[in-house]
Chain A
Amino acid sequence: MVSEAMVSEAETVNENEEKKLKFGLFLGCNITFNRPDVEQAMRKIFPALGVELDDLAGQSCCPTWGTMPSIDDVGWCAVAARNLCLGEEKGIDLMTACNTCYASLNEARHKMLKNPEIMNGVNEILAKIGKKYEGKAKCRHVAWVLYKDIGLEKIRESIKYTLDGLTIAVQPGCHFLWPSEVYPDKEKDPFNPVVLRELCEALGAEAPYYTKLIDCCGIGALRSTDPEKSFALAKDKLECIKEELDADLIVAGCSSCTIQFDDVQEKLRKEGKINFSIPVLHYVQLLAICMGFDPQQVAGVCVTPRDEIIKRILEGGKR
């Protein structure tokens, strides 16, 4: 076991230098192929907020749970470490809008820093492609970068449209929160998260607590193993959002949760299991719309219609 001091020593590559914020944009699979509007939103908002993005050319899958993590630790960490190296070689951290990527990369890093056997095994493999992971680069979450590095004040100043009068149901997503031990940024109470709520409030909306706020959306392995159980879980949460908040909008911190609530609502509506429709956006998309970027580009891919809410934001919320 390595002491915590070593972990914190290796903590960061960005914080030492007082220079312009720069991150490697880690895309993952679902954003790249399923929801590229989330990618486009990140490519618009961050440079506008003074953050430089690097493409991390040659990045791959994080790897997600059903792949290498289900085989063994060293293989999992080796694939993750190659991705982390792409940032480390440039002296920057990675940044993602996908909670699975956030968790897989940071859990892998945590395992490598904690267990020298795993780290050595990984670096033996990486040596075959001329790489070495030092444990410095980590993966940051877009919500935390916006909250902590950029700050609510700058976000408030950057928007052209406000969300006054709108109620948002936030969906932080599981891998934004747990296991808190492995993440570079942590909520004060990981079972009562506030970061995403405050980020939404900074845009002028209400983002109240509701009883199923931290519930799982049901995507991923659950949905691929048993879709009916997955949809039932999502339905419970959607009904809670409707009943307790009558929300105008669901805003997720995770691309997978965004996909799930967007897809599932349409399916449940067609089956007559729900009779409402609440548009779903990733936070980076909502911010991009509020900053005045083209909704077709930053929020143009969905199943549950977004047109009305976007119209309302653009018409009703001009500052």
Chain B
Amino acid sequence: MELAEEGVPPVINLTEVAEREKEEFEEKVSKLIIEFGAENLMACMQCGACASICPLARTGFEWYNKKLIKAILVGMREELLDDMTPWACVACNRCTEICPRNVTPFEVMLAMRRLMVEDFALPTLTIEGLRSLYEHGHAVYMTGREARKKVGLPEKPPTTDSDEKALQELKTILKNTKLAELGLIPMG
């Protein structure tokens, strides 16, 4: 350690260091959320209009729109990564419709998912959905075709399910997106 005059160690102001790190950290989380699509994040004035009509807030999820935005604005990160609230968002966009500041709180939810994806903090079902999209062209896919037969439809729908060329097109598209960079699913 570098000694100051007469062997007295320099005073490190821990409060200042903490403040500085906090500021950098805050900037980082908010910046990422903005980069991931929530362009108007900083316009939020915490009025709570979004929370008043959010199905997640109503059913008791921890980090519903208003609270998530507040947490992001104060720079929280680890606590948010441990919570699956953003993955429960039904994307209903009531919040977007009602927000008086054009914050598009749904885009904040979605940006939070995108941030979580980079940390592999996503539900297994989501990975399964992505895998199914890549393998079959359908996020929801069923091999059983009794229902189709019962109502008088061909077993094979006119989708990627019955069209190999179309499925290959979709795979080519997906291989050229960020999904491939993330390596969340095998994309052979």
Contact = CB atoms under 8 A, between A and B. Distances in A.
Interface of A: 27, 29-30, 32-37, 39-40, 43, 55-61, 63-75, 78-79, 82, 100, 103, 125-126, 128-129, 131, 174-175, 177-181, 190-191, 215-216, 218-222, 224-226, 229-230, 232-233, 296-298, 300-301
A298 B157 contact: no
A221 B87 CA distance: 6
A233 B37 CA distance: 29
Question: What are the 3 closest A-B residue pairs judged by CB atoms, nearest first?
Answer: A58-B166, A75-B177, A174-B92
B178 A71 contact: yes
B151 interface: yes
A129 B151 contact: no
Contacts of A190: 97
Nearest to A233: B59
Interface in B20-45: 36-37
Contact of A179 (B93, B163, B179): B93
A73 B90 contact: no
Nearest to B122: A70
Given A61-B139, A74-B178, A126-B173, A66 B151 contact: no
Interface in B66-93: 84, 87-93
Nearest to B154: A36
A71 B94 CA distance: 22
A58 B139 contact: no
Interface of B: 36-37, 55-56, 58-61, 84, 87-94, 96-97, 104, 106, 110, 113-114, 117, 122-123, 125-126, 129-130, 133, 137-142, 147-148, 150-153, 157-161, 163, 165-167, 169-170, 172-174, 176-179, 182
B59 A178 contact: no
A219 B88 CA distance: 10
B133 A63 contact: yes
Contacts of B141: 29, 33
A190 B93 CA distance: 11
Given A58-B160, A300-B151, A79 B174 contact: yes
A60 B170 contact: yes
A82 B88 CA distance: 27
A99 to B, nearest CB: 10
B177 A71 contact: yes
9 contacts: A32-B161, A36-B153, A129-B169, A174-B90, A175-B92, A218-B59, A225-B84, A226-B59, A297-B151
Nearest to A70: B113
Given A82-B169, A225-B123, A220 B179 contact: no
A39 B154 CA distance: 11
Contacts of A58: 158-160, 163, 165-166, 169
A226 to B, nearest CB: 6
Nearest to A56: B158
A197 to B, nearest CB: 19
A47 to B, nearest CB: 15
A32 B158 CA distance: 9
A1 to B, nearest CB: 11
A34 B90 contact: no
A66 B163 contact: no
Contacts of B170: 60, 79, 82
